[in-house]
Copies of this chain bind each other. A is one copy, B any other.
Amino acid sequence: MKKLILTLLMGTAASAQSLLSPSKQIQLEFKLVDNGKPTYTLTYKGRPVIEQSLLGLTLERPQALESDFKTIKAETATGDETWTPVLGEQSRIRNHYNELKVQLLQTTTERKMNIVFRLYDEGLAFRYEFPNQYRWKYFKVTREVTEFNLTGDHKAFWIPGDFDSQEYVYSETPLSAINGDQSQISNGIGFKGPMEQTRVQSPLMMKTKDGLYINIFEAAVINYPVMHLNLNPKTFSFRADLAPNAIGDLAYLETPCKLPWRTVMVSDDAKDIVGSRMILNLNDPSKISDVSWIKPIKYVGIWWEMHVGKSTWDYAGSQNAQNAQPGVMIPTGKHGATTANAKKYIDFAANNGFDGVLIEGWNVGWEDWFGNWKEEVFDFVTPYPDFDVKEVTDYAKSKNVQIIMHHETSGSVSNYERRLDRAYDFMEKYGYKAVKTGYVGRIIPRGEWHDGQTMVNHFNWVVQRAAERKIMVNSHESSRPTGVHRTWPNYVSAEAARGNEFNAWSTGNPPMHETILPFTRLLGGPMDYTPGIFEIKMSAYEPSKKEQIHTTLAKQLALYVTMYSPIQMAADLPENYEKHQDAFQFIKDVAADWDDTKILEAEPGDYVTIARKAKGKDAWFVGAITDENARKSTIFLDFLPTGKKYKATIYEDGKDADWEKNPKSYAIKTIEVDSKSKINLNLAAGGGTAISIFPAK
């Protein structure tokens, strides 16, 4: 299937090489300048995207891999293969690119570094590779030189470059207005790591004044820190900015090795960005041979009731108990994860066709888990006295429902690593197949950040250990995915962005939030956003509360299609679904794994409309969402097979719907459609439309 055509460009030094994408619309130029400094330049349809930008690394001591290079060889190749993801947005993915591999020799040190460029039709990827070489094995990276010199003051959708959290609201501003230090903003984030005014996170989505969409990101982040981007606001130049470890180093490496891919997607059609599989393609194929146990999961859970204040994670009071008597636990009576409550959720899951039930707060430690940088919090195996693991698990099995394990680490990674084998033994004993992990708070080992090399390695290590046990992982507060779930397909989902939960107890997520995520966070992999909140206003639980979901109810349904995740939650309380059984039908129907995906409409910060075909089924689902502006549009169902009749059920905003004033107004209608049909969408402010399409009986 894989086709590689190698062309040797030259045997000895040449100062410049160029490469075209398969479509020939994107061009890359590599050039050594000045004293042998590697650079690259990128154009799209002849228009400059990245102006000449430096490449290289700075190493420990007065060593740099940024100049004194000569090119000893440059060769091009073409890759074209089609592969099948285990779970995904489409069942067949084409990986088609042209490649330029430049072999460099640093003349002063005799060290070898290769830079490999790949041009896809959606953009550029490049990475540094270090072959095995004489007397150079270990090295330490203290700075990455990589630049992205942009052509002007583009509009950007950015979040501040916090090395410890991505759970921020996006700002939509010109590059020149980037002001990333939001450390004083009260936005519900538990702990903020180091920030800089000019540092923002990747993926960074931009739009030029003349309508080019540009996205800077990375792929296959393994044994290396997460790439943030630091702006020179005068030149509109970004430099790769990496989270240091406790003593200020960025990465410890050993030849031979390959660093993560840096990517620049570019198109004049925003849909090309959202629909790209480039990030996935840049990752290695699955390392798991038997993948039969990796399956999509739709689930409910004891979770939202804690967010809305109906119950608590802890059994005996304050989550950072300053006044707890040592060794004494007096139950408050508000504990959520009781045997009885778990059975209630299991019944609800079984009655409504859900695969699993997540139970948070089942294990001791929550009295004292947060904010104290405490190392020994949870042991991951000891339930609270009011939670009978065996009884709950047996009950779930009798109802053909799986329990989803929860491992909150409170950021104490050293503690989790010491106990992981035992935690997985426990899961194996009870037959649990999936775990949601959590990393709220400052990391231990102290001095490490969520986005540093140590933590990147931790997140990947947990997934590999889980694969040994056939356990699926859904990580929260991890570093954000970069397509590594292609390689470890049991890494089924992650949070790693501001999720729906923030709407329950903070200023929340503005209506445009979900229209940006498909251009940023979701490019790296599935997101466990936890949609499906029907009880929009928190005043329903406590009259004085002002917090609310910043969408209409119909938009909550549409998110099941626009926010891809093969482990997908119906996040609201059973009693709220019971009040809206008609709307709940969409959540019961919608798939979580797909044969095909069509991006019908997309504009970052404004709207997204996506149609997807359920895997192995003749059923389609459409999700359309808008930002704070109401929106009308028309979509064409030409993705349906010709000549066949379908029944489309349209879940849309009521005529008087508005995310703020009337969010629960919705209407449901069923019509007959075929591939020639079109549907007029009417999205309220902060609204959305969800459509299920099944064959007509």
Contacts and interface: CB of A to CB of B under 8 A. Distances in A.
Interface in A111-149: 132, 134-138
A325 interface: yes
Interface string A432-474: 0000000000000111100000100100010000000000000
Tell me which of A325, A373, A446 has the highest count of chain B C-beta atoms within 10 A of its own C-beta: A446
A447 B374 contact: no
Interface stretch (A209-217, A341-349, A414-422): A414-422
Interface stretch (A245-253, A400-408, A590-598): A245-253
Contacts of A418: 417-418, 420, 461
Tell me which of A134, A445, A454 has the highest count of chain B C-beta atoms within 10 A of its own C-beta: A445
A256 B252 CA distance: 40
A375 B418 CA distance: 15
Given A254-B374, A418-B418, A418-B461, A137 B322 contact: yes
A544 interface: no
A373 B252 CA distance: 9
B249 A374 contact: no
A506 interface: no
B421 A323 contact: no
A457 B252 CA distance: 26
B249 A446 contact: yes
Contacts of A5: none
Given A414-B414, A445-B246, A447-B247, A132 B322 contact: no
Given A326-B256, A375-B252, A446 B247 contact: yes
Tell me which of A249, A252, A457 has the highest count of chain B C-beta atoms within 10 A of its own C-beta: A252
Interface residues of A, number: 36
Interface in A149-164: none
A332 interface: no
A294 to B, nearest CB: 24
Nearest to A373: B252
Given A137-B372, A138-B372, A325 B132 contact: yes
A324 B254 CA distance: 12
Tell me which of A134, A136, A321, A454 has the highest count of chain B C-beta atoms within 10 A of its own C-beta: A454
A447 B417 CA distance: 19
Given A137-B324, A246-B446, 9 more contacts: A132-B325, A134-B323, A138-B374, A246-B247, A246-B445, A247-B446, A252-B374, A417-B418, A418-B420
23 contacts: A134-B323, A135-B323, A136-B322, A137-B321, A137-B322, A137-B323, A137-B324, A137-B372, A245-B446, A245-B447, A246-B246, A246-B446, A249-B446, A254-B372, A254-B374, A256-B326, A414-B414, A417-B418, A418-B420, A421-B422, A445-B445, A445-B447, A447-B447
Q: Rank and list the top 8 A-B pairs by shortest CB-CB distance, nearest first.
A: A246-B246, A445-B445, A246-B447, A421-B421, A247-B447, A138-B372, A417-B418, A137-B322
